[in-house]
Amino acid sequence: MKSTQYVARQPDESGFIHYGEAEHQVWNTLITRQLKVVDGRACQEYLDGIEQLGLPHERIPQLDEVNRVLQGATGWRVARVPALIPFQTFFELLASQQFPVATFIRTPEELDYLQEPDIFHEIFGHCPLLTNPWFAEFTHTYGKLGLKASKEERVYLARLYWLTIEFGLVDTSQGRRIYGGGILSSPKETVYSLSEEPEHLPFDPIEAMRTPYRIDILQPLYYVLPELKHLFELAHQDIMGMVHQAMQMGLHAPKFPPKAA
């Protein structure tokens, strides 16, 4: 695990998490800005989830508020975690239909990008689609598979997660749209991902598992689902068999320069 400057907020005796006014202002800036950017770019299932969640604009939401909606829609809930958690904890949570949320928000100095997933990324980026049964089923299946996987298998599963749940695109009757939370919580990547600059390829789970990525750059390649329901169908296929095929075939050459030392 990497180190982080951020510390997750702890709840009080009643379970309420207190944030400062400056933190609420960061949330307001982020959500106000990003709602404008995702309009016409996010898939309809995500926008439906945003409407269901009814996230406040003027303050950081409490986790209980989000849980009431998610549990009613798909049986999911969010779980308070520190800034960074081990793979094992991550898979344990997903396998029990809990999505990890670190209860801190980025500083104004890192408004546009930070490497650690903060509460805005997790709640605004991911929770809307957890109201969707197709997406929720895939995420649940992914957690159960990861829990049983070996260390090497988890590395391949991580690439699948990165190129779907975090950075996935989908074709719709309205055109190409975004469903990946890593894109939807980033103003720059929301616009860039749908431009002609990056490469777009039809989604293939084995190819996705063979694709290296970096977390600190705009992605050079996005995989595009034919429809969001494809994730639900994938959840009922032999994903671990695909992992083993990808392991035998090996990684593709990276489409990005190595990270500077």
For the annotated catalytic residues, the residue numbers are 121, 126, 166, 185
Q: Tell me the per-residue pLDDT of 4-50, one tens digit each, with 9 for 90 and over.
A: 889 999 999 999 999 999 999 999 999 999 999 999 999 999 999 99
- Is residue 257 scored above 90 in pLDDT? no
**What pLDDT is recorded for position 83?**
81
**Residue 50 domain-assigned?**
yes
Tokens encoding 232:
């639900």
Q: Tell me the per-residue pLDDT of 96-117, one tens digit each, with 9 for 90 and over.
A: 999 999 999 999 999 988 888 9
**What pLDDT is recorded for position 260?**
74
- Contact indicator for 174, 42 with CB cutoff of 8 Å: no
Q: Tell me the per-residue pLDDT of 129-176, one tens digit each, with 9 for 90 and over.
A: 999 999 999 999 999 999 999 999 999 999 999 999 999 999 999 999
**Residue 1 domain-assigned?**
no
**Residue 254 domain-assigned?**
no
- Is residue 80 scored above 90 in pLDDT? yes
User: What are the phi and psi torsion angles at 241 (to 5°)?
Assistant: -60, -40
Q: Which domain holds residue 84?
A: 21-249
Averaged pLDDT score across all residues of the chain: 96
**Residue 145 domain-assigned?**
yes
Structure confidence at residue 261 as a pLDDT band (50, 70, 90): low
- What CATH number has the domain bearing residue 102? 1.10.800.10
Structure confidence at residue 78 as a pLDDT band (50, 70, 90): very high
**What pLDDT is recorded for position 183?**
97
**Residue 215 domain-assigned?**
yes
pLDDT over 70 percentage in the chain: 99
**What pLDDT is recorded for position 174?**
96
**What pLDDT is recorded for position 1?**
53
Please count the structural domains in the chain: 1
**What pLDDT is recorded for position 99?**
98
**What pLDDT is recorded for position 113?**
83
